[in-house]
C-alpha cells in the first residue's frame, strides 16, 4: 500500500507506555481499508505495545478542514515519524482559524448534549409510567450518543455501531475510565449490556422485550456516570487543545455587576496560597466583593483619624474535597482580628461542567462576568461558554418563578407569625427554631429569584451570606461585625441543630424579641425586593398585572 504519513502517539497502557501509529494511506490505493487490516494485524502481532489505525489521507485532511480537533493535534509536526518522499501531499491547509475550530467543536458537542438530555428525559418519563421496555430503548440511545459524542473528540472518528460493548472497547485506549463502567468480566453486567443492545431493535420490531425495574435503574445510573465522565473528558480535551495551539491570553472580563455590583481587587495571592493545601483547586472565580471602612476621629483620642478596612469576597471554587474547603472557610473567617472574609461555593469539575452544559444561568453569569482569580497550570481560561448568552425568563418561567416565591413567602410568614404567637417562657427554644425555619425559606426564595440558583448547602449562615451578595438589606438587618450581633445570629442559625441535639437553647426575652423583630423586617424587605425584581422582569405592562395581586403586596 502507498503510505503518505505516519504519526506516533504514546499513551499509558497499564504500567507501560503503549504506542499508537496513525497511518494515512494514499487515496489512490485500490483496496478498501478493511482489506488491508489482515496484513497489518499480522505485522503488529509481533509488537504487543503498538497498535495502529488506518485512514485515507484525504478524509483526514477534510476532517481537519471541518474542525476535527483530534486529527489536527494528532497529525502535528512533532508527532510525524514518516513522510512519503515521492509525494507532494499537504495535510493541513494554511490559515486555519483555531479559535473557529474550537467554537465549532463546542457547537457540535452542545448539539449532541441536547440529544442526550432529550433521551434522558424520555427514559425518566417512560420509567415513571412503568413502560420499562421503552425506557430501556431511551437509555440505550442515551448511552450510545454519549459514546459517539466523546469518540469524535478522543479518537477523531465515531464508531459506526449500535453496540454499547463495541463503543466501550473502542474508547478503552483513550478513555480507560469510561471503558469499565460496564464490567465485561461480570456476567450480570455483560448481560445488562446485551439487554440494552437488544432494546434498540426489539422495542421497535418485537412485542416480547422485557426488562425489570432493578436492571433498568442500574442502566440509568451507569448512563449518568458515563455522561459526567464524557463532559469531564470533553472539557479536558478542549483545555489541552487550547493550551497547545492557542497563545495564552488573559481574557478581558466585565466586573461581576450582574451579581454583586462590584469589581474584585487583585490582592488574592495570599488567600489562594492558603486554600491550595486543602484541595486540588482547578479554578477560582470572584463574583462579588464588599468593603467596609471604619474611621475614628475625635479630640479625646490620641490616634486622630484611625482607619480600619474590612473586605469580603464571594468565590466560586472548582475543586475536589468540598468539605475541607468549607472547613477552611470557617477557620479563615473566625481567625482573631480577621479583616478579610470569604464565602465559598465549592463544586467538583464534573458538576461544574454539567451545569455549564445545561446552560445554567447562575454559573454562566459567573464564568462570563466574574473575575478569574486562579487557574491551575495547563488549563485554559475558556470554560466553554462563549456561545451561550443568558436569556431573560419567558412568560411561562416567570409565572413559575412567581408561584414559587408566593409559596416560599407564605410558608416563611407562617413560621414567623407562628413564632410570634408563642408566649410561654418554656417554649422559647421552639420559637427560635420556628424563626430559623422561616428565615431559611425566605432566603431560598430570594436566591432563586435573584440568582436562579439552587444552593447545595442549606445552613442559614450560608444562605444569608448568599443573600448579602446581591441585597444590601440582608447585612443591614443581620450585621455580623460586632460580638453581640454575631452571637445573636449564631443563635438563630444554630437553632435547629441546637434544639434537636441539645434539647434547649440559651435565650432571653430581650434576645428573642430583637431576633423576632429582625426576622419580620427581613421578610418584609424580601417581599419588597422580589416585587421590584418581578416588575423589572415583566416590563411596564406586566407590572400592571402584577399589581392586581399575582404576588403578596
CATH code of 288's domain: 3.30.460
Dihedral over Cα of 477, 445, 345, 241: its sign: negative
The range of the structural domain enclosing residue 427 comes to 395-550
Q: What is the pLDDT of residue 483?
A: 79
Cα 264 from Cα 255, distance rounded (Å):
7
Query: For the chain, what percent of residues have pLDDT higher than 70?
Result: 84
Q: Are residues 229 and 305 in the same domain?
A: no
Contacts (Cβ under 8 Å, ≥6 apart) of 525 = 471, 473, 477
Q: Are residues 537 and 435 in the same domain?
A: yes
DSSP string, 311-347: EEEEEEEEES-HHHHHHHHHHHHTSTT--EEEEEEEE
Q: Are 413 and 441 in contact (CB under 8 A)?
A: no
- The rounded mean pLDDT for the chain is 83
Q: What is the pLDDT of residue 384?
A: 59
One domain for residues 447 and 504: yes
Which segment of 162-176, 230-244, 385-399 scores lowest on mean pLDDT?
Answer: 385-399
| Burial (CB count <10 Å: 0-12, 13-18, 19+), residue 251 | exposed
What pLDDT digit, counting tens, does each position of 22-67 carry? 999 998 776 788 888 888 999 999 988 898 999 999 999 999 988 8
Q: Do 364 and 407 sit in the same domain of this protein?
A: no
* Residue 191 confidence class, pLDDT cut points 50, 70, 90: very high
Per-residue model confidence (pLDDT) at position 13: 64
Instruction: Output b/e per residue, 490-520; b: 16+ Cβ within 10 A.
Output: ebbbbbbebbeeeeebebeeebbeebbebbb
Alpha-carbon separation of residue 488 from 327, 386, 433, 474 (angstroms): 22, 44, 13, 15
In a domain, 264, yes or no: no
What's the structural domain count of the chain? 4
Model pLDDT, residue 261: 34
pLDDT digits (tens, 9 = 90+) for 262-293: 333 345 777 888 888 888 898 999 988 887 66
pLDDT given at position 337 = 65
Q: How confident is the model at residue 84 (pLDDT cuts 50, 70, 90)?
A: very high
Residue 90 lies in a domain: no
pLDDT for 173 equals 87
Domain assignment present for residue 234? The answer is yes
Digit-coded pLDDT (tens) for 366-424: 888 888 888 888 777 776 555 556 666 778 888 888 999 999 999 999 999 998 898 88
Q: Are residues 138 and 282 in the same domain?
A: no
What's the pLDDT at 553? 44
In a domain, 263, yes or no: no
Distances from the Cα of 334 to the Cαs of 73, 341, 421, 495, in angstroms?
Answer: 49, 9, 35, 20
- Give yes or no for residue 164 having a pLDDT over 50: yes
- pLDDT band at residue 255 using 50, 70 and 90 as cut-offs: very low
- pLDDT on residue 151: 96
Could you tell me the pLDDT band of residue 466, with boundaries at 50, 70 and 90? very high
Q: Does residue 145 sit in the same domain as residue 237? A: yes
Q: 449, exposed or middle or buried, with CB in 10 Å at 0-12, 13-18, 19+?
A: buried
Any idea what the CATH number is for the domain that residue 147 is in?
1.20.120.330
Q: What percentage of the chain reaches a pLDDT higher than 90?
A: 41
- Give me the pLDDT at residue 61, please: 92
| Whether residue 401 is found in the same domain as residue 527 | yes
Angle at CA 375, nearest 5°, toward 372 and 376? 170
User: Rounded distance, CA 371 to CA 318, Å?
Assistant: 14
Question: Given 35, 52, 83, which residue is the final one in a domain?
Answer: 83
Q: Average pLDDT in the 135-145 region?
A: 94
Distance in angstroms (rounded) separating the CA atoms of residues 305 and 50 = 75
* Claim to verify: residue 310 and residue 367 sit in the same structural domain: yes
> What is the mean predicted confidence (pLDDT) over 181-196?
93
Look at 323-327, 412-416, 444-448 and tell me which has the smallest mean pLDDT.
323-327
pLDDT, position 267: 56
Q: Are residues 209 and 286 in the same domain?
A: no
- What confidence score (pLDDT) does residue 458 get? 87
Neighbours of 235 (CB within 10 A): 23
Task: Considering only residues 197 and 207, tell me which one the structure prediction assigns the higher pLDDT.
Answer: 197
**95-109, 148-162, 286-300, 509-523: range with lowest mean pLDDT:** 286-300
Residue 252 belongs to some domain of the structure: no
Same domain, 472 and 509: yes
pTM across the whole model: 0.52
Same domain? 534 vs 483: yes
**Where do the DSSP E strands lie in 399-475?**
none
Q: Going by C-beta distance under 8 Å and a sequence separation of 6 or more, which residues neighbour residue 23?
A: 3, 5, 6, 52, 53, 54, 55
For residue 346, is it within any domain?
Answer: yes
Question: Do residues 406 and 329 both lie within one domain?
Answer: no
Average pLDDT over residues 297-302: 60
In this predicted structure, the answer to whether residue 256 has a pLDDT above a threshold of 70 is no
- Last residue of one domain, picked from the residues 52, 83, 114: 83
Please indicate, yes or no, if residue 76 is contained in any of the structural domains.
yes
Please name every residue paired with 18 in a beta bridge, in sequence order, or none if there are none: 11
Q: Does residue 472 form part of some domain?
A: yes
Amino acid at each position: 500500500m502507498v503510505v503518505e504519513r505516519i504519526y506516533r502517539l504514546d499513551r499509558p497502557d497499564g504500567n507501560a507506555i503503549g504506542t499508537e501509529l496513525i497511518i494515512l494511506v494514499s487515496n489512490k490505493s485500490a483496496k478498501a481499508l478493511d482489506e488491508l487490516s489482515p496484513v497489518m494485524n499480522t505485522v503488529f502481532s509481533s509488537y504487543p505495545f503498538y497498535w495502529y489505525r488506518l485512514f485515507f489521507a484525504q478524509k483526514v485532511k477534510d476532517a481537519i478542514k471541518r474542525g476535527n480537533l483530534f486529527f489536527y493535534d494528532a497529525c502535528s509536526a512533532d508527532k510525524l515519524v514518516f513522510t512519503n518522499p515521492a509525494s507532494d501531499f499537504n495535510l493541513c491547509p494554511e490559515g486555519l482559524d483555531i479559535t473557529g475550530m474550537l467554537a465549532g467543536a463546542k457547537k457540535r458537542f452542545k448539539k449532541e448534549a441536547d440529544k442526550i438530555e432529550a433521551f434522558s428525559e424520555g427514559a425518566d418519563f417512560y420509567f415513571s409510567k412503568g413502560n420499562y421496555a421503552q425506557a430501556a430503548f431511551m437509555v440505550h440511545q442515551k448511552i450510545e450518543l454519549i459514546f459517539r459524542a466523546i469518540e469524535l473528540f478522543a479518537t477523531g472518528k465515531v464508531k459506526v455501531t449500535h453496540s454499547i460493548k463495541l463503543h466501550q472497547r473502542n474508547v478503552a485506549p483513550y478513555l480507560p475510565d469510561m471503558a469499565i463502567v460496564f464490567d465485561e468480566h461480570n456476567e450480570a453486567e455483560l448481560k445488562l449490556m446485551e439487554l440494552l443492545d437488544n432494546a434498540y431493535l426489539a422495542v421497535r420490531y418485537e412485542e416480547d422485550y422485557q426488562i425489570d425495574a432493578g436492571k433498568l435503574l442500574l442502566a440509568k445510573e451507569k448512563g449518568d456516570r458515563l455522561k459526567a465522565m464524557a463532559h469531564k473528558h470533553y472539557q479536558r480535551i478542549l483545555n489541552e487543545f487550547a493550551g497547545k495551539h492557542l497563545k495564552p491570553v488573559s481574557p478581558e472580563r466585565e466586573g461581576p455587576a450582574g451579581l454583586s455590583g462590584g469589581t474584585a481587587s487583585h490582592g488574592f495571592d495570599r488567600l489562594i496560597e492558603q486554600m491550595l493545601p486543602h484541595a486540588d483547586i482547578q479554578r477560582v472565580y470572584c463574583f462579588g466583593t464588599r468593603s467596609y471602612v471604619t474611621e475614628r476621629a475625635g479630640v479625646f483620642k490620641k490616634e486622630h483619624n484611625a482607619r480600619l478596612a474590612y473586605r469580603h469576597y464571594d468565590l466560586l471554587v472548582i475543586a475536589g474535597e468540598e468539605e475541607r474547603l468549607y472547613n477552611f472557610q470557617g477557620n479563615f473567617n473566625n481567625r482573631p482580628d480577621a479583616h478579610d472574609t470569604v464565602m465559598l461555593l465549592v463544586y467538583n469539575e464534573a458538576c461544574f461542567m454539567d451545569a455549564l452544559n445545561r446552560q445554567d444561568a447562575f454559573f454562566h453569569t459567573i464564568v462570563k462576568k466574574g473575575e478569574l482569580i486562579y487557574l491551575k497550570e495547563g488549563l485554559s481560561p475558556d470554560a466553554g461558554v462563549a456561545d451561550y448568552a443568558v436569556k431573560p425568563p419567558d412568560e411561562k418561567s416567570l409565572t413559575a418563578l412567581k408561584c414559587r416565591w408566593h409559596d416560599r413567602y407564605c410558608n416563611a410568614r407562617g413560621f414567623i407569625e407562628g413564632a410570634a404567637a408563642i408566649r410561654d417562657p418554656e417554649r422559647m427554644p421552639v420559637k427560635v427554631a420556628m424563626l430559623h425555619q422561616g428565615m431559611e425559606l425566605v432566603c431560598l426564595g430570594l436566591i432563586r429569584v435573584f440568582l436562579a440558583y439552587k444552593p447545595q448547602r442549606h445552613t442559614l449562615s450560608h444562605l444569608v451570606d448568599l443573600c448579602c451578595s446581591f441585597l444590601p438589606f440582608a447585612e443591614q438587618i443581620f450585621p455580623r461585625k460586632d460580638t453581640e450581633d454575631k452571637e445573636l445570629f449564631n443563635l438563630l442559625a444554630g437553632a435547629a441543630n441546637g434544639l434537636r441535639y441539645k434539647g434547649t437553647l440559651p435565650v432571653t426575652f430581650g434576645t428573642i424579641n430583637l431576633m423576632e423583630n429582625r426576622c419580620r423586617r427581613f421578610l418584609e424587605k424580601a417581599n419588597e425586593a422580589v416585587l421590584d425584581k418581578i416588575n423589572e422582569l415583566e416590563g411596564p405592562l406586566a407590572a400592571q398585572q402584577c399589581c392586581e395581586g399575582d404576588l403578596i403586596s
